[in-house]
Amino acid sequence: MGHVDPRQIPSKGKPWTAISDLDFIHKVDLIIPQDIYETVAQKMAEREPPTYFRVVMTLGQVLETKFLTQYVKLGNIMMLSQGKTTIGNLFTLREGNLDLYLDRETYERAGLEGKPYGNKGNRGSKPRWKVSYNLREESMLHGRKGFDRLVYTCKNVLNQPMTWLVCNASSSAMSVDLLQDLKATQMTFFPTLSKDTGIYQIPLRIPSTILAQGDREALEYSATEIYEWLSLVRLESPRVVAGDTIDPYLSRYAPPEADSTAAQVQVCKLSWQGFLSSSWLRSLFVDIVTNCPSQSWFALSGTTFSRNILGGCNELSFLRPPESAGEFLMWETKSQD
């Protein structure tokens, strides 16, 4: 990855497109060596703490002229309703795109045009449909046939009040007057800190011999080992803590190439949990890249809300190896509804 200018953040190519693809982020974890914590903490203190809102409203209220114009057509609001994509009904709004995930009965009553959704052929699964609208299109106005049909459905079928999470996905400030009129609750959250965790440092890069030989199988194995170790550090698992003496009958995991002679290091973890946009994660990523010393490593991950009954979610993880300012490892994990 080339030089990153905080004033002109790239939008094309990896990892930027991968970050943008994360839709409704629930948790972000940052893992760093403890010796650079003060440097990172100073930068984090300069950032505005993220906020979101919790509000009870109907889908029809989202389509009212003032709300639609201020927050969707002119602004860049992001909304996620209660529910799951695989059971019941779920509504989402992101970058002006309204998606309705409906069960069969509701879809037939709604009379809207949609497409079958979900895995086909699963025994015992009920058919579901997805209806989508781009609310920023010129035709999405009161008085237009297609829009009025949606409004009619919201008044007569999709008229149940629901709990929504609301977030400003724009870099500019958002007026909250209409949300306050709806008695929305504003939530401001700060990162939680876990520190003084002693671990045995493992090699945090793909061996050069594997890259030189182009060995795909060895590359995947090495990358998976690193990802597994980072995941256990995120979970604060005792299995990666220095001095762990778990009975091998209970757990056979051992960090790759880590033993009692390896250097022990202290790491800390910063975690944000709430309702976050991909633009917020992108700005955090840029701040970490531009402020972390080039000789140090860091790992950053973002996890979306689970939107199916199985608890599956999408996740994106980055690792910058030590003394590798322009090199990164990236893992994308995607769930299937």
pLDDT in tens, 112-147: 999 998 766 455 567 789 999 999 999 999 989 999
Main-chain dihedrals φ then ψ at residue 33, nearest 5 degrees: -65, 145
Alpha helix locations (H) across 64-215?
Answer: 65-67, 104-110, 145-156, 177-181, 208-213
- Tokens encoding 203: 């090699």
Q: Which of 103-112, 265-274, 325-334 has the lowest mean pLDDT?
A: 325-334
Residue 90, strand partner residues: 101
Q: Which of 39, 56, 53, 139 is nearest to 96 (CA)?
A: 139
- DSSP symbol at 69: I
Domain coordinates in residue numbering, the chain: 16-50+190-333, 51-188
Please say whether the beta carbons of 233 and 269 come within 8 A: yes
Predicted TM-score of the model (pTM): 0.90
Banded model confidence at residue 243, pLDDT cuts 50, 70, 90: confident
Closest CA relative to residue 229, chosen from 250, 204, 249: 204
Give the closest residue to 179 by CA, choosing from 53, 50, 24: 53
- What is the rounded distance in angstroms from the CA atom of residue 291 to the CA atom of residue 65? 43
Query: What are the tokens at 84?
Result: 């799951």
Name the residue among 319, 321, 281 with its Cα closest to residue 17. Answer: 281
Q: 241 φ, ψ to 5°? A: -80, 140
pLDDT at 123: 52
* Residue 49 DSSP class: P
Phi first, then psi, for residue 162 (nearest 5°) are -130, 155
Per-residue model confidence as pLDDT tens digits over 53-94? 999 999 999 999 999 999 999 999 999 999 887 778 999 999
Q: What pLDDT digit, counting tens, does each position of 198-233 carry? A: 888 888 888 888 888 888 899 999 999 999 999 999
Angle between helical axes of 278-291 and 37-46 (0-180°, round to 10): 140
